[in-house]
Structure 1
Amino acid sequence: MPGQLLLVDDEPGLREAVQAYLEDSEFNVNVASNATEGWEKLQSNPPDLVITDIMMPQVDGYQFLKQMREDPRFKSLPVVFLTARGMTKDRIQGYQAGCDAYLSKPFDPDELVAIVENLLERRSSAEKGSEGTDIEDIARQLAEIRELLKQRPTIAQSETHIKIDLTPREQSVLDLVAQGLMNKEIARRLETSVRNVEKYVSRLFSKTGTNSRTELVRYALEHGLTK
């Protein structure tokens, strides 16, 4: 199951070995050598799951996890502790701190992959359930978007030239939204997570001053932002 992972560990040898094994298992892995760097990468490129060591200088794994759980953006982000501290009391402390899995070093890489796959599957299922809770609104927006697409030749483009800088990925998401696809379908097309798609759609709303997918598509058609 493809997914974007963040691996935080201050041991270069172990970090490189774990990264290589996870990438061989078809995961995309971003790495950080400490929690401070991990926090920066967490915000600039939000992952689907975090794997972090506990015993790190300055900011340890518990503090890093606490920082994540106090931020609404990462409150439900799956976190795996990967650490040499394997006593029962250490594992209990880890779970009480809010980690989703605790794997003691040395460990079997296949077990780590199984844990990651399981957590990502659970996360995906939860996101599908969340998307389905507002099914009537989703159906309405889809119907409105399809109607807009039928009217495409008659929707006049604005004479006012509006320059909006979109990244290549934002443009790809906009084009797919304009095709009437929902987040889950877009994520599958772009081989990314639903969470990342939601992030890009939110950015598009912000850049265009719109509040719904229907408004976004109409705006894009009127201003020639999508083909």
Structure 2
Amino acid sequence: MSNPEKILLVDDEPGVRESVQAYLEYSGDFNVKVASNANQAWELIEKEIPDLIISDIMMPQVDGYQFLGKLREDPRYQSLPVVFLTARGMTSDRIQGYHAGCDAYLSKPFDPEELEAIVKNLLERRKVSIKASSESVKLEEIAQEIREIKAQIGQQPHLVTTPSPIKIELTPREQSVLDLVAEGLMNKEIASRLNTSVRNVEKYVSRLFSKTGTNSRTELVRFALKHGLTQ
């Protein structure tokens, strides 16, 4: 069983805090911490960053807009999804909320099922965003390693001209894919360059792994450069 998502609920109404917390925690998918005001919420966030924040707007001392503004100014919390709850449902209020950086806006009284749906949707989008960001960093690291390999081999010309002990026959399309992999391009970029699908590129890369006996893009490029299969 996966760990429950961490939710922080900020509302000065005890009834709202209790009902929303009970509803969201019932399924076991969420662990909800509550705060009665923005200052208390900030203390909780500093101790443990939640996965999502649900905040009332009309609160004493520091209102929801000010609270959100402080969050968005801090690099640690800029990407945190925030749902605004408020009794004020005017269009101008919603626009102000979106300009402040909230991700969703729900007017009181609200259906708890709708709130749960919004929360799940935002959390799923955040996971996708985090995954994409992580993959982007990983791909850039691979590309950088490929550039370093090319530079190292470029400083050792005898390695480039060393004949391969194994005769490797590549189709024109396999050669094109190999050349682009050696440039540091990823599958999506290669697909765009060759006007084909990512799935087809994946098949060609898999074939190249099989023909060269390699298991990763960096091994493939190192092998190709060493045996003169690409420049």
Same fold judged by TM-score > 0.5?
yes
TM interval, shorter chain, is 0.5 to 0.7
Q: Give the corresponding residue for 2:81.
A: 78
1:28 aligned to 2:53?
no
1:42 aligned to 2:45?
yes
Counterpart CA distance in 2 for 1:14 and 1:56 is 13
94, 98, 101: which one pairs with 2:97?
Answer: 94
Counterpart CA distance in 2 for 1:69 and 1:134 is 23
120, 123, 127: which one pairs with 1:124?
Answer: 127
Q: Give the corresponding residue for 1:104.
A: 107
Q: Give the corresponding residue for 2:11.
A: 9
Deviations 1:133-192 (A, max 9, x none): 133548xxxxxxxxxxxxxxxxxxxxxxxxxxxxxxxxxxxxxxxxxxxxxxxxxxxxxx
Deviations 1:36-67 (A, max 9, x none): 00011011110000000000000000000000
Identity %: 70
Residue 114 of structure 1 aligns to a residue in which SS?
A: helix
Structure 2: segments with no counterpart, 5+ residues: 143-231
Displacement of 1:119: 0.3
Q: Which amino acid aligns with 1:16?
A: E
Counterpart CA distance in 2 for 1:76 and 1:135 is 20
Matches within 5 A, 1:56-205: 56-135=59-138, 137=141
- The structure 1 segments of at least 4 consecutive aligned residues displaced by more than 3 Å after TM superposition are none
Counterpart CA distance in 2 for 1:98 and 1:135 is 29
Q: Which has the higher contact order (CA 8 A, sep 6+)?
A: 1
Displacement of 1:89: 1.1
How large is the RMSD of aligned CA atoms in angstroms? Answer: 2.0
Residue 12 of structure 2 aligns to a residue in which SS?
A: coil
Q: State the structure with more CA Rg.
A: 2
Q: Give the corresponding residue for 1:18.
A: 20
Residue 74 of structure 2 aligns to a residue in which SS?
A: coil
Deviations 1:60-80 (A, max 9, x none): 000000000000000111000
How many residue pairs were aligned? 141
Counterpart CA distance in 2 for 1:134 and 1:51 is 30
Q: Which amino acid aligns with 1:113?
A: E
